[in-house]
Amino acid sequence: MEWLKTLISRPSKGVSGKTGYWRTFKPIYDRDKCVLCYECYVYCPENCVEIVEKVVKIDYDFCKGCGICSEVCPANAIEMVKED
């Protein structure tokens, strides 16, 4: 029953490798502007925004730089900056 391993898959972090290198623009977070509304956390399609002790943490290993977090932020606390 080797086929079972191919047929079913369990959610795990980065099964396709570290997708962070796909990024052109990088989200930069400004703690001072942040109102802790959690919009970025809710909307991130890659589930790589976490809020730890009232601070937004972005997992740059997996963030593809789509910019949705920056788009939905009502306080303009996330700026998309071109990577070097």
Partner 1 sequence: MKTILTGNHAVAYAVKLSRVKVVSAYPITPQTTIVEKIAEMIAKGEMDAEFVNVESEHSALSVVYGSALAGLRSFTATSSHGLLYMYEMCWWVSNSRLPLVMAVVTRTIGPPWNIHTDHTDLMTLRDSGWIIAMAENAQEALDLTIQSFKISESLNLPFAVGLDAFVVSHTAEVVDVPDQETVDEFLPERKQAYRVDPNDVFAVGNIADNLETMRMRREMALDMEKAKGVIDEVGREFGEIFGRRYGLVEEYMVDDAEYIVVMTGAWSGDAKEAVDILRKRGIQIGLLKLRYIRPFPREVIERFDDRKILVVDRSFSMGHRGTLGIEVGNVVDCKNVVAGLCGVDVGFEDFKEMFERFVRGELGEVEWWI
Binding site for partner 1 (CB under 8 A): 1-11
Nearest distance from C-beta of residue 12 to partner 1, angstroms: 10
Q: What angle do CA 78, 67, 48 make, to 5 degrees?
A: 85
- Of 10 and 82, which CB lies nearer to partner 1 in the complex structure? 10
76 in Cβ contact with 29 (< 8 Å): no
- Of 45 and 74, which CB lies nearer to partner 1 in the complex structure? 45
- Of 11 and 17, which CB lies nearer to partner 1 in the complex structure? 11
